[in-house]
Amino acid sequence: MPRQKRTSKYLTLAEKRNAGAQSIERDLDLGNGITTTAYTRAIEDLRQKLHDYNEFLSLLDQAGNAVQDAEQVVRDFSERILLGVATRYGKDSNEYEMAGGIRKSDRKRPTRKPKLAA
């Protein structure tokens, strides 16, 4: 399941406020480094970081899918190895046990409890 991509309500709000501030004056300077130019740069910085974050999530999803595919290949291969050993040597052989199987003679048989007459 892909990871949820992130959005920012602060980015949307800042874009609206920046548009309003620029409608007052294109290069509004309120002193102490508070300008519409600096505000626009900060907004663009947030937008780029958000884009990078979402892109990394996509790459992470892709890497996770690759790991799952590799695990499936290994599981299938393990099953085939065990079946091949069982076919060649039998399910009650030492070789089958060495390959990771449980010998037929070592399996725990279910025991039935006798029914009590009522």
Q: Which tens digits make up the pLDDT trace of 23-74? A: 888 888 888 988 999 999 999 999 999 999 999 999 999 999 999 999 999 9
The Cα–Cα gap between 27 and 109 comes to 84
**Model pLDDT, residue 112:** 82
pLDDT at 118: 62
Count of Cβ atoms closer than 10 Å to residue 101 Cβ: 19
Give residue 91's identity as a one-letter amino acid code. K
The pLDDT of residue 106: 82
Mean pLDDT of 103-112: 82
- For 89, residues 6+ apart whose C-beta sits below 8 A from its C-beta are 95, 96
pLDDT score recorded for residue 110: 79
Q: What are the structure tokens assigned to 109, written together? A: 């048989």
Q: Indicate if the pLDDT at residue 76 is higher than 70.
A: yes
pLDDT confidence of residue 51 = 97
pTM of the predicted model, to two decimals?
A: 0.66
- C-alpha angle with apex 82: 77 to 83, nearest 5 degrees? 95
- Across the range 74-88, mean pLDDT stands at 95
